[in-house]
Amino acid sequence: DVKVTQSSRYLVKRTGEKVFLECVQDMDHENMFWYRQDPGLGLRLIYFSYDVKMKEKGDIPEGYSVSREKKERFSLILESASTNQTSMYLCASSAGGLNTEAFFGQGTRLTVV
Amino acid sequence: RKEVEQDPGPFNVPEGATVAFNCTYSNSASQSFFWYRQDCRKEPKLLMSVYSSGNEDGRFTAQLNRASQYISLLIRDSKLSDSATYLCVVFGNKLIFGAGTRLAVHP
């Protein structure tokens, strides 16, 4: 069974803090993605990566950065957390190629106060 | 304009009904298409891929119309357990999700 694990289910952080969200997958997948999900807006792509040390901006990268030093791990970094980054964050991975299934982690609900 | 658009619903249908969802996408270079299902407070999971020739999986039928850039999902003989949010997903150079269509099946 493919497993995508996010380090925390719930996080509460203060405005201005630097926040790290970690995601690890155990299926040697090339592709990894970070989304945020908000009511009425669905899943919006923040960043994605097709290979180690490679990253591409998604649709809403502002205020975020990512790191992929190892194939299995894709980290999302909030450089200076703000209240409008309160959201559900979902990590996904998929094998290389076009028609491959994406597997999701259980999500991290981040609240910035 | 959003890259992937769906009617948010909710669609409220009785058990046994047939219900159809549509989704449109803007990037004509998109190459792969999927329907995902998301239950309340859970992560999305793949329901089915969508192929150009159309494909069926039990009560579920997916269709792709490349000329009009839309994808459809038909659910026949709806069950209570089909209640969920259905997400249209398009892969061009990145994996883009629609906002989802909520389905509620009632007895």
Q: Does B55 touch chain A (CB under 8 A)?
A: no
pLDDT in tens, B8-38: 889 999 999 999 999 999 999 888 999 999 9
Question: Which of B1, B38, B43 has the most A C-beta neighbours within 10 Å, making it the best mutation to test the interface with A?
Answer: B43
Using an 8 Å CB-CB cutoff, list chain A residues near B100. Answer: 42
Given pLDDT bands bounded at 50, 70 and 90, which one contains residue A101?
A: confident
Find out whether A87 and A73 touch, Cβ atoms under 8 Å. Answer: no
Q: What is the DSSP letter of B1?
A: -
Given pLDDT bands bounded at 50, 70 and 90, which one contains residue B93?
A: confident
Burial track B23-49 (b if 16+ CB lie within 10 A, e otherwise): bbbeeeebebbbbbbbeeeebbebbbb
Cβ–Cβ gap B46/A92 under 8 Å: no
Cβ–Cβ gap B95/A41 under 8 Å: no
Find, in chain B, the residue whose alpha carbon is nearest to that of A97: B32
pLDDT in tens, B45-79: 999 999 888 899 999 999 999 999 999 999 999 99
Using an 8 Å CB-CB cutoff, list chain A residues near B94. Answer: 45, 48, 56, 58
Using an 8 Å CB-CB cutoff, list chain B residues near A42. Answer: 87, 97-100
pLDDT in tens, A4-37: 999 999 999 999 999 999 999 999 999 999 999 9
pLDDT at A99 over 70: no
CA dist., res. B95 & res. B46, Å (int) = 13
Using an 8 Å CB-CB cutoff, list chain B residues near A60. Answer: none
- Mean pLDDT, residues A76-82: 97
Residue percentage of chain A with pLDDT more than 70: 97
Q: Where are the beta strands (DSSP E) in chain A?
A: 4-6, 10-13, 19-21, 23-25, 31-38, 42-49, 56-57, 64-70, 73-78, 87-94, 103-104, 108-112
C-alpha B101 chain-centroid distance: 7
* Number of residues that make up chain A: 113
Residue percentage of chain A with pLDDT more than 90: 87
pLDDT at A98: 65
pLDDT at A96 over 90: no
Long-range contacts at B49-55 (CB < 8 A, ≥ 24 apart): B49/A99, B49/A101
Using an 8 Å CB-CB cutoff, list chain A residues near B47. Answer: none
- Mean pLDDT, residues A78-101: 91
Mean pLDDT of chain A: 94
Cβ–Cβ gap B98/A42 under 8 Å: yes
Cβ–Cβ gap A102/B46 under 8 Å: yes
pLDDT at B92: 82
